[in-house]
Amino acid sequence: MATNRPHRLVGFLESRKNLTGSACGLAGVVLTLTGLAGPYWPVVVAGLYGAGALLAPPERPAPPDFPDPSAQLEEVRGDFGRLRGYLADVELPPAAEERLAGLTGLLAGLLEPGWVAEVLAADPEGLHAVSRAVRQDVPEAVDAYLRTRWWTRLTPGQQPPEAHLERQLALLRGEAERLADRLRDAEARRQESHTRYLEDRSEH
C-alpha cells in the first residue's frame, strides 16, 4: 500500500481538479497582491482553489485500445491463409471438395485487399461472420469429418460422414452468400442515395 502513495500523490498533482484549483488559487494570489482580497486573503485563495477543484471535470480512465477494424481484417486474412494451407493437406470426397472450393473462393473474394475488404471492415457483423467461418466453422467441419470417417471405417453401416460435411459446407456457403448480398445491397443503396442527392441539387 505504501508504494502506491507516491503514485497517488503524483496522480493528484497532475489531476484536472488540482490544476484547475491551482489556477483559481493563483487568481486569488493575484487579487491579494493587488490589495483586493484584504486581510482575508487566505480564505479567498483557499475558496477559489476549492471552487476550481469542484468545477473541474471529473477524471475518467482511458477506454481500452482495441484494434481497429482494418487491423482485425488483417488478422482474419492471415488466419485464412493458414486455413487454406491446412485444407490443402486434407483429402475430401469430390462433392465435398467442390462445395469447399466454392466456399473458400467466396471467402477469398470478401477478404481480398481492396475496396471490397474495406466495405467488409466497416461491417462489424459481417467481419465477425467471416472470422467465425475461417477460425471456427470450416476447420471444425473438416476436422469432425476426418475423425468420424476413421470411426466409420471401424463400424461400417452408419450414415456416411461426408453427408454431414456436404450439408455443413452448403450452410456455410449460404451464410457467406447472404453476407455478400447484404454488402452489395449496402453499396446499391449508397449509389441510389447519391443519385437522389444529385437530382435534388439539380432542382435548386
Residue 13: per-residue pLDDT: 44
Residue 2: per-residue pLDDT: 47
Three-state DSSP class for 73? Answer: helix
Cell numbers 487491423 correspond to 71
Residue 10: per-residue pLDDT: 47
Of 75, 77, 87, residue with least CA distance to 107: 77
Q: For the whole model, what pTM was predicted?
A: 0.65
Alpha carbons 184 and 127: distance in angstroms, whole number = 15
Residue 20: per-residue pLDDT: 65
Q: Helices 161-202 and 94-111, interaxial angle, to 10°?
A: 30
Three-state DSSP class for 2? Answer: coil
Alpha carbons 92 and 110: distance in angstroms, whole number = 24
Mean pLDDT of successive 10-residue segments in the chain (204 residues)?
A: 51 56 63 59 63 60 68 92 95 94 95 87 91 96 91 72 94 95 89 91 82
